[in-house]
A and B are shown apart, each in its own frame.
Chain A
Amino acid sequence: MSVLIYIDHSDGQVKKSSMEALSYGVKIAEQIGAVAEGVLLGDVSTDLPSLGNFGIKKVYHIQNSLLQIFDAQSYTKVIAQVAQQTSAKIIIFSNNSAGKSLAPKVAVRMNAGYVSGAIALPETSNGFNVRKNVFSGKAFANVEVKTEIKVIALNVNAFSVSEGTGNAEVVSLNIDVEAPKVKVIGTNKTKGTVSLTEAETVVSAGRGLKGPENWKIIEDLASTLGAALACSRPVADAHWRPHNEHVGQTGIAIAPNLYIAIGISGAIQHLAGVNRSKVIVVINKDPEAPFFKAADYGIVGDAFEVVPKLTQAVKKVKGIA
């Protein structure tokens, strides 16, 4: 019996979200008395045996030039073959962009019950129950998985990475790889900035900023903090900011350690996507703004005065200035 963890990577590096998934899968294996193993498709520059640091004993490394393109259909068939050959009972993904496409397909292929967006270790004393966010973070649900094989996609930033020392055995398996139907014709990566879903700190701004030309102070604060940028929906709708920065119930849901909301009123739909943040700081000139009710720290004041001062104060603490 084994717990199989899918290890995602981009630009040759294993993603932080996959390290979370590895740590989570290893804990589940301990809990149920199984071995934890990883599966990685394609080429990486990371030293694979060092993935043993997360507690896995083996990494199944499937290399084939056909895997250079991410095609959910062909990837699913590969992962399912690995799961079958290794008798995996629980298969873990990160609930990141790749995991959201792969995990449900692998579940169907393995005839496994699926839980997306898990936020805690399963409760296994009475059945197999997984806790997840529902209603866009406004509530939690327990999902009981009834099938023998189970697939879980772990929310990003929901489980801390635990790293020790270990050596994983790298194993290659004989697996059929289908030619991908999908052909990549272009990529556009936001260079040098932190990915929004994985970011530990997010600086977000709303209509209170008045116009796209005023984002410099927001960008300065974000780069000082090493934070990712986000925005409210009307800001993205008005094309002040790209749509992939739109957070909330109908945008991207995030759970950073620190969320700084500047000139955002805190509408219920906005809160829904950000209320899993560990610490929320609100800067708003209106003391009645609903966001203060959901905040841990706040400053009532004009963003145009407060934000540059905040950037300076952060630089001082970080020893940058």
Chain B
Amino acid sequence: MKILVCISKTPDTTAKIAFTDNNTKFAETGVQWIINPYDEWYALVRAIELKEADPSITIHLINVGNADSDPIIRKALALGGDEAIRVNTQPADSYSTAFQIAEFARQEGYDLIFTGKETIDYNGGAVGAMLSEMLDLPYVGLATSFLLNGKTATITREIEGGEETVEVPLPVVVSCQKGVAEARIPNMRGIMAARTKPLKVVEPKQTETQTVFSGFNLPPAKAGVKLVSSENVEELVRLLHEEARVI
């Protein structure tokens, strides 16, 4: 049984969001990089838990990115996983990311592919679904719990206004969010082991550009808060009713 976990590199959640080159590029100077939280906390940890329950499972991690991704890939390997693959290209969009992963995954034949529900930088939320279409596999998005029973998976997923539990035969692509697992911190043994785990670099396949991030801008600053005394709650309701018109 082989699991592939897709790992993305994103700015730390407290990173200052600013743009350079005439607002066409994210300003990367001074930014700390992390594993995209959904990939790390839920997708990767759940894969590791499955392997702990069944040591015959192999876990591969895959990232599409340049050598700047190596530190976060090592960090992911410190949490768990047997080896990592980096497709050596800076992806342009969700499509090109999914395309490169699909090209690799097709040759390997995974039983299970995990992604996070979205990345916290470009918020595409599309790699898992696109990948499943490229590989013609079933897709279960926005999972909040994942159980494996032999050749089928039992997955709870978010639906509008609630949750639904489904059963699906492997192979399947699943996007993970809160509920699937609990975040972990790598231990010393894991960090040591990660240094010697294989990190294979593969060259990208040629693909077309479908979308381009052509410019960025920041939201306008808020006008400032209107404070109302705690003794005069009616006044707040009046303002919300008459001024803001939201009640």
Residues of A within 8 A of B (CB): 8, 10, 15, 17, 70-73, 76, 95-98, 100-105, 107-109, 112-117, 129, 132-147, 181-190, 195, 197-198, 200-201, 225, 236, 243-244, 246, 249-251, 253, 257-258, 268-269, 272, 275, 278-279, 281-282, 292-302, 305-306, 309-310, 312-314, 316-318
Contacts and interface: CB of A to CB of B under 8 A. Distances in A.
Contact of B228 (A132, A146, A298): A298
Contact of A184 (B142, B166, B169, B214): B166
A114 B228 contact: no
Nearest to B213: A141
Contacts, number: 275
B47 to A, nearest CB: 18
B165 A184 contact: yes
Q: Which of A114, A198, A282, A306 is packed against the most chain B CB atoms within 10 Å?
A: A114
B133 A181 contact: no
Contacts of B234: 313, 316
Main secondary structure of the interface of A (DSSP, over half): mixed
Contact of B138 (A135, A181, A279, A314): A181
A95 B95 CA distance: 17
B50 interface: no
B237 A310 contact: yes
A97 B246 contact: no
A132 B136 CA distance: 28
Contacts of B166: 182-185
B209 interface: yes
14 contacts: A72-B138, A98-B160, A101-B129, A139-B216, A146-B210, A181-B138, A182-B138, A186-B165, A187-B164, A188-B165, A195-B160, A250-B13, A297-B240, A310-B237
Contacts of A253: 123
B17 interface: yes
B160 A97 contact: yes
Interface stretch (B55-63, B189-197, B217-225): B217-225
B236 A297 contact: yes
B210 A268 contact: no
B230 A299 contact: yes
Contact of B139 (A101, A140, A268, A300): A101
Given A134-B122, A146-B211, A309-B233, A107 B130 contact: yes
A244 B144 contact: yes
A225 B11 CA distance: 37
A71 B129 CA distance: 12
Contacts of A197: 160
